[in-house]
Amino acid sequence: MPSFDPTALVRVRRAKRYTQDALGAVVGLSRPALIAYEKGQRTPGPTILYRLANALDVDVLKLTSATLRTATMTDLRARTGLTKTGVAQALGVPRHTYDRIERGVRQPEPELLPQLAVLLDVSERTVAGALRRSATSRVVD
C-alpha cells in the first residue's frame, strides 16, 4: 500500500488504547511484524491493512495518507477487505484483467464502472477518479 501511513497506525492504536501485543493478537500479527509496520520498515498489503482498521474500528483510509478524493484503486479495494481475486470474481473477469485495471494499465469496460462502485461502496465518480490516479501513478520503465 503506497499510501500507508505508519504514524497514523501508531496514533490510532494509542487512541484506541491497544498495546502492540493486544492489537497483534486481534489481527493475527506478531509483535515484531506490527512494530515493523509502525516504524515504516514494512508496508501491509490491503488485506492486512483492512484487518488492522477493522480491529481498530476505523475506515482503512484513516491508516493511510489517502482520502476518497485521492485514493487509488488499491486504496479503495483495501477499504473493503477484498482480494484482487475476490473483486475479479465479483465482476466476472479474470484476475489478471482486474489486476491490470487496478494498476492502471487497462481501463475497465464501461459496464464495470457501476459494478465497481457498488462493490467498493463508493460512487462511480470516486471509482473514475481512482482509476485516473492509478493510471498516472504507475511507474513507467
What kind of fold does domain 73-137 have according to CATH?
434 Repressor (Amino-terminal Domain) (1.10.260)
Query: In terms of pTM, does the model score above 0.75?
Result: yes
The model's pLDDT over 13-26, given as tens digits with 9 standing for 90+, comes to: 999 999 999 999 99
> Quick one: pLDDT band at residue 139, thresholds 50, 70, 90?
very low
Residue with cell 491490470: 100
| Whether pLDDT at 80 is above 80 | yes
The CATH topology of domain 6-63 is 434 Repressor (Amino-terminal Domain) (1.10.260)
Query: Does residue 141 surpass a pLDDT of 50?
Result: no
Residue ranges of the alpha helices (H) in 16-141? 20-27, 31-38, 46-56, 73-80, 84-91, 95-102, 112-120, 124-137
Asked if the domains 6-63 and 73-137 are classified in one and the same CATH topology, the answer is: yes
Separation of alpha carbons 113 and 111, rounded Å:
6
| 17-39: average pLDDT | 96
